[in-house]
Structure 1
Amino acid sequence: MSEAHETHENGVYDLIVLGAGPVGQNVADRARAAGLSVAVVERELVGGECSYWACVPSKALLRPVIAASEARRVDGARQAVTGPLDAEAVFARRDRYVTEWDDSGQALWVKGIGADLYRGHGRIDGPRTVTVTRDDGGRQTLTARHAVALATGSKPVLPDVPGIEEARPWTNRHGTDSSAVPARLAVVGGGGVGVEMATLWQGLGSHVTLLARRALLPRMEPFAGELVAQGLTEAGADVRTGVRVTAVRRPDPAGPVTLTLDDGGELEADEALFATGRRPATDDLGLDTVGLTPGAWLDVDTTGLVQGVDGDWLYALGDINHRALLTHQGKYQARTAGDAIAARAAGRPLDDGPWGDHATTADQHAVPQVFFTDPEAAAVGLSAEQAEAAGHRVRTVDLDMNAAQGANLFADGYPGHARLVIDSDRDVLLGATFVGPGVGDLLHSATIAVVGEVPIKRLRHAVASFPTVSEIWVFLVAAARGAGH
């Protein structure tokens, strides 16, 4: 141990991690558990985008909105919901969950696992070398014996339209760290961030206009976006699809913003939030020093190892490899990569075949995702369209969620729909989509069925508790088998 301590003082580690969000923390934790020495470099807050501007604050803000809506769906409870949400209390709740944007607790966690934390901007400076530049301009060079793991996440993309910079639009960060409710909010983008932000701010009292070039949630089954659009409309939002913003102007920095639309119309709002995509945060990481293109998504193998770099030492995990821009999927990749780094360091063979310990097979076959809208939208695996495009012979099973009595007891007039996508040749589940209040908690059972390739015949023996929303599984499996429930 004393020798390891001396090498730390000289800036030499087994693994250097750039980015201390959940992904970076997970790969560091896994490597430390295997006995490797680890340095973690972070230029902003330890905990990253997820902890302070994305998953955690957005869900802390959305939960009161959804809770109030769910109460209004239950006779007897709806009579108790007599006024609007207390926005100040909602913001205070958010502030508690982001610890007032104080990362000292997470910094202590990094140190608590035995990793060394370096605050500053980390940049690759040739093979296995990282230079850290602190805010005060000081620099330190670190060297990795075995690996460097990049976990720097992604950044929002604004469309290239006239006036966009001068208009100072909101992005996801403004959407989750703001503490004032605009009277009118334009949300541009119909993906997950767009629909969640529209749900949130409409619930807090804004009049939201949601503008989307395509249907909402275009990567999910079509009914998911349709039901979410219906829920937003019923909540009072103005949902417009098939529309594109061609220009933005805000002549008075303190005044309203005007969006010009491709149909020739205009929309005026007090703020405009753009949720129009993400780009990798790889533009200033020194990728050019190892033959890669700055600002590019990084191509990786199933262990997270970056392709096109000699020596098998550079890993890219989470958003920057573009496999699935979801925190839980990035953490899964990080756990896998941490184990692979430890195995390579010890000279052990890799278990990197399908569903092996060192393979991120779920990135291709079983990615779960939940959007905390009203109603919620949750899916795992392939949609019917994706499955057919991949060459599978498929059949689908569709049911309204209120086929289960538990759903009706959960919410009067429960709004929702479910679909299973089944491989006709193997009779196993390829994908599942649920839309309805609280369906996010149904998703893990579907994920297990997809990952485990559980035969539909066997699923009939997975007995759902009565009366719960999960009873929908009984009806779905029965329909899949052409039998009564």
Structure 2
Amino acid sequence: MATEDIRTYDVIVIGAGPVGENVADRTAAAGLSTVVVESELVGGECSYWACEPSKALLRPVVLRADAAHIPGIDPAVRNPLDTEAVLAHRDRMSADWNDDGQVEWLKSAGIELLRGHGRLAGEREVSVETPDGETVLLRARHAVAVCTGSSAALPPLPGIDEVRPWTSREATAARTVPRRLAIVGAGVVGVEMATAWQGLGSRVTMLVREDGLLPRMEPFAGELVTERLREAGADVRFGVSVTAVRRERDGAADEVRITLADGDEVVVDEVLFATGRAPRSADVGLEAVGLEPGEWLATDDSLTVTDVPGNWLYAVGDVNRRALFTHQGKYQARIAGAVIVARSRGERPATGRWAPHSATADGEAVPGVVFTDPEIATVGLTAAEAEREGRDVEVVDYELGHLAGSLQYRPDYRGRARILVDRKREVVVGATFAGPGVGELLYSATVAIAGEVPVERLWHAVPAFPTISEVWLRLLETRRDA
């Protein structure tokens, strides 16, 4: 390898999604020379195939559902959505899958970009195969951060390769609305895409192995989403398993036939498998540092990979499986960046719960919003998780439809709120809200949990009237009067 093909930096980041961008931003801002290696689009999954395009598809659908229940507006929204306009808006939100703007941001932040596929090549070394076939060897003085994220995991079904199934990428980037769409899975991707495509005119059939939607959340969340999907015309089936799939072409017809365990068959135009995620770690050179390719990368709370000595390798974002959310990955990136900077200066990172160099929130205050009709917002523990952990908690529920603020939102408002209060410490350790507009309640709940705000202090946080945030007062009153 020629000398000019070897480049040295303080920090090498593999992956230029939001997580990698944030790690690089923190280290570059501290004066460390930083390079980001990216094989696809700068901005990553979130910008082009996940958060941004999915919400662009969902917002018109959910807004229309809310408006259809508001007196004076409801007649104006009876017509079908303008799908061409919605898809054009989705394209704009995804920057038409052009990353020029994000590349320009990297330059403005003093971060170098190297296009190509990066693989670990040894301690503090990354080999990059560039699009023109050249190989560049990068060497890091201080740190390498693997920020490659995750990808859709497809089940090992007979015929699945020939079917050309949708994953989350195809579901958010589709150019036309399928007449019939089957969705296999009960999680966030499944319910969000069911909401979006049913609202855009597709006949959606959900094939769910479990006995409810959103099985990792409070049961009432999945029940409300199921109710609304069925009201919108979706066919939601529980307790069913897919055993085989095949695509058949007969002249102009192009159909997918899905065989179920009970022998029934579902015929659709497209099928989306929303059956989980896998780490993008199969081809990043893990074997060069003694790790197993294709596995999740285990880290401590400083985001340092625990099975590689020397405190130089970091895994940040989805690839470490700590919390598969863009916002949580960006939080980890801020922590990892601070740790890398501290170690580069010969400083020992601060450790301990809620320390500046510890990603404590990954285990205690992970927020998430499901942008369905209705919205679901969660942070911290569910009642089932608290029970499994042996936590002594009090479960407090309140019907959101009883609030004056929710009735202003829509007169037939249906929704529910739940908080879990740790009886010993008298602090909130979990919250779930289900109903239109509840996503904006989530940050207050996250602050209450991360800040360990005593319940008696929450009494003095006065919500404005009439807003949905008044639910906090009602939850505390319900607990007091129980």
Corresponding residue number in structure 2 for 1:169: 165
Deviation at 1:10, TM superposition (A): 5.3
Deviation at 1:36, TM superposition (A): 0.9
Corresponding residue number in structure 1 for 2:385: 386
Aligned letter for 1:425? K
Residue 30 of structure 2: which of 19, 29, 34 is its match? 34
Q: Equivalences for 1:90-169 in 2 at 5 Å?
A: 90-169=86-165
Query: Aligned to 1:335, what secondary structure does the other structure show?
Result: helix
Corresponding residue number in structure 1 for 2:463: 464
Tell me, yes or no, if the aligned pair for 2:146 and 2:316 is still in contact at 8 Å. yes
Residue 221 of structure 2: which of 221, 224, 233 is its match? 224
Corresponding residue number in structure 2 for 1:4: none
Aligned letter for 1:91? L
**Deviations 1:16-57 (Å, cap 9, x if unpaired)?**
000000000000001111111100000000000100000000
Output the CA distance in 2 between the equivalents of 1:233 and 1:433.
22
Query: Aligned to 2:186, what secondary structure does the other structure show?
Result: coil
**Deviations 1:162-203 (Å, cap 9, x if unpaired)?**
111111111111101112011110011010000000000000
Residue 242 of structure 2: which of 240, 245, 248 is its match? 245
Output the CA distance in 2 between the equivalents of 1:188 and 1:279.
16
Query: Aligned to 1:380, what secondary structure does the other structure show?
Result: strand
Output the CA distance in 2 between the equivalents of 1:21 and 1:390.
34
Corresponding residue number in structure 1 for 2:55: 59
Moved more, 250-259 or 315-324: 250-259
Query: Aligned to 2:254, what secondary structure does the other structure show?
Result: coil
Output the CA distance in 1 between the equivalents of 2:401 and 2:460.
22
Residue 86 of structure 1: which of 51, 60, 82 is its match? 82
Corresponding residue number in structure 1 for 2:39: 43
Output the CA distance in 1 between the equivalents of 2:309 and 2:425.
40
TM-score, normalised by the number of residues in structure 1:
0.97
Deviation at 1:82, TM superposition (A): 2.7
Tell me, yes or no, if the aligned pair for 1:184 and 1:269 is still in contact at 8 Å. yes
Tell me, yes or no, if the aligned pair for 1:397 and 1:420 is still in contact at 8 Å. yes
Tell me, yes or no, if the aligned pair for 1:154 and 1:320 is still in contact at 8 Å. yes
1:402 aligns with 2:401: yes
Segments of 4+ in structure 1 off by > 4 A?
7-10
Corresponding residue number in structure 2 for 1:25: 21
Deviation at 1:349, TM superposition (A): 2.3
Tell me, yes or no, if the aligned pair for 1:367 and 1:381 is still in contact at 8 Å. yes
Tell me, yes or no, if the aligned pair for 2:145 and 2:313 is still in contact at 8 Å. yes
1:16 aligns with 2:12: yes
Tell me, yes or no, if the aligned pair for 1:387 and 1:394 is still in contact at 8 Å. yes
Tell me, yes or no, if the aligned pair for 1:88 and 1:179 is still in contact at 8 Å. no
Deviation at 1:8, TM superposition (A): 11
Corresponding residue number in structure 2 for 1:359: 358
Aligned letter for 1:149? A
Where in structure 1 are there 5+ consecutive unaligned residues?
Answer: 1-6
Tell me, yes or no, if the aligned pair for 1:403 and 1:475 is still in contact at 8 Å. no
Tell me, yes or no, if the aligned pair for 1:423 and 1:429 is still in contact at 8 Å. yes
Corresponding residue number in structure 1 for 2:440: 441
Query: Aligned to 2:434, what secondary structure does the other structure show?
Result: strand
1:234 aligns with 2:235: no
Query: Aligned to 1:283, what secondary structure does the other structure show?
Result: coil
Aligned letter for 1:120? G
Query: Aligned to 1:284, what secondary structure does the other structure show?
Result: coil
Aligned letter for 1:466? F
Aligned letter for 2:235? D
Deviation at 1:9, TM superposition (A): 9.1
Tell me, yes or no, if the aligned pair for 1:297 and 1:320 is still in contact at 8 Å. yes
Q: Give aligned-pair identity as a percent.
A: 58
Output the CA distance in 2 between the equivalents of 1:243 and 1:56.
31
Output the CA distance in 2 between the equivalents of 1:216 and 1:397.
22
Aligned letter for 2:238? T
Query: Aligned to 1:149, what secondary structure does the other structure show?
Result: strand
Corresponding residue number in structure 1 for 2:417: 418
Query: Aligned to 1:378, what secondary structure does the other structure show?
Result: strand
Residue 204 of structure 1: which of 200, 213, 219 is its match? 200
Aligned letter for 1:385? A
Query: Aligned to 1:251, what secondary structure does the other structure show?
Result: strand
Tell me, yes or no, if the aligned pair for 2:35 and 2:111 is still in contact at 8 Å. yes
Output the CA distance in 2 between the equivalents of 1:243 and 1:354.
43
Aligned letter for 1:40? V
Corresponding residue number in structure 2 for 1:3: none
Tell me, yes or no, if the aligned pair for 2:373 and 2:436 is still in contact at 8 Å. yes
1:69 aligns with 2:68: no
Tell me, yes or no, if the aligned pair for 2:5 and 2:136 is still in contact at 8 Å. no
Output the CA distance in 2 between the equivalents of 1:16 and 1:480.
51
Query: Aligned to 2:330, what secondary structure does the other structure show?
Result: helix
TM-score, normalised by the number of residues in structure 2:
0.97
Tell me, yes or no, if the aligned pair for 1:156 and 1:279 is still in contact at 8 Å. yes
Aligned letter for 2:273? F
Number of aligned residue pairs? 477
Tell me, yes or no, if the aligned pair for 1:428 and 1:455 is still in contact at 8 Å. yes
